[in-house]
Structure 1
Amino acid sequence: MRILGIDPGIAIVGFGFIDKEGSKLTPVQYGCIQTEAHTPTEERLLQVYEATLQLLDKYKPDAMALEKLFFNRNVTTAFTVGQARGVQILAAVQRGIPVAEYTPLQVKQAVVGYGKAEKKQVQEMVRMFLKLKAIPKPDDVADALAVAVCHAHSSTLNNKIAEVLRYD
């Protein structure tokens, strides 16, 4: 199963593709989509949308996982990031790719085993799970890979639950 993890944003969108075979996780490609500041929001959204389509078409994931938004201060930023998430979800749905969403707490729990883990702990666990030489930079990329790892672990659990329910 190929999973695309996304850390949504408008200036920087982290992305990470991983392959899951059994319990083995292998990084495929990771990086970020960047848009220029002072560019109109609608143009930035178009850039994020088109770049997401290109990534989906090139790497052909079986699932896309995004981090749910959590903002407690800047409402304007939350709206703009929400719009960016929307165009990414639209791109996945147009390509027939299922979308899953996880809260930061769920990602930390799945990757570190502790929902209040520090960002550095999550990044180090991502590095270890994927056998990377260094923690990916910028942080948005490491966060996207963490979301993909979370989905890989969650999909295993969900598949096992579905199997049990089928036989009951």
Structure 2
Amino acid sequence: MRVLGIDPGLTRCGLGVVDSSGGRAMSLVAVGVARSATDLPIAERLHAIGTEIDAWLDLHRPDAVAVERVFSQHNVRTVMGTAQVSGVAMVAAARRGLPVALHTPSEVKAAVSGSGRADKAQVAAMVVRLLRLDATPKPADASDALALAICHVLRGGAQSRIDAALAAARATRRQGTLA
């Protein structure tokens, strides 16, 4: 199973792709960050991030997409941008018929490190260990995206396969009605 993890952010949106052939054996496919300039209008920033997410979906062809669930923060402006980018990511995946899973930060921490209260450094260290990397991906958004993908492999693999099968069945039915 191939999973694209997305750590949504308006300035930096982490993107990480992980392959798994089952169990805990995982490998890094790609990691990076989509960026948008802070001096652009919000619509253009969302378009820039969306274009990059589309390119990653087309290039890496994941079986599922894992997005960090937006939670309430003290800075409303930050949470709004994060929520908007999450929506862009979910729509991009839905257009391709891909299942999308939302994982909370504590779910990701627990799945990757064993503790829902782990700090960023502990999670990053486990990302390096689980993917057998030489160094922690930078910036932190990139490492967080890989943690999301890993979390999904460890927690959501079975559900993703069910969702993918249902999506394929829906697509087949739609094609049958168009013919």
Hey, what does 2:38 align to over in structure 1?
Answer: 37
Any runs of at least 4 consecutive aligned residues in structure 1 with deviations exceeding 6 A, and if so which?
Answer: none
Residue 72 of structure 1: how far off its partner (Å): 2.4
Percent identity of equivalent pairs = 42
For residues 42-86 of structure 1, give each alpha carbon's deviation from its aligned partner in whole angstroms, at most 9, with x where no partner exists.
000011111111110111000000111123211122112111111
Name 1:4's counterpart in structure 2. 4
Give distance in 2, aligned partners of 1:96 and 1:19. Answer: 19
Q: TM-score with structure 1 length normalisation?
A: 0.91
Structure 1 SS opposite 2:108? helix
Structure-2 residue corresponding to 1:21: 21
1:157 Cα deviation (Å)? 6.2
The number of equivalent residue pairs is: 159
Could you tell me how far 1:151 is from its partner in structure 2? 0.2
Counterpart position of 2:49: 48
* SS in structure 2 at match of 1:61: coil
Deviations 1:72-119 (A, max 9, x none): 211122112111111111000001110000000100010011100111
What is the identity, as a one-letter code, of the residue corresponding to 2:45?
Answer: R
Q: Which amino acid aligns with 2:81?
A: T
Structure 1: unaligned runs, 5 residues or longer: 160-168
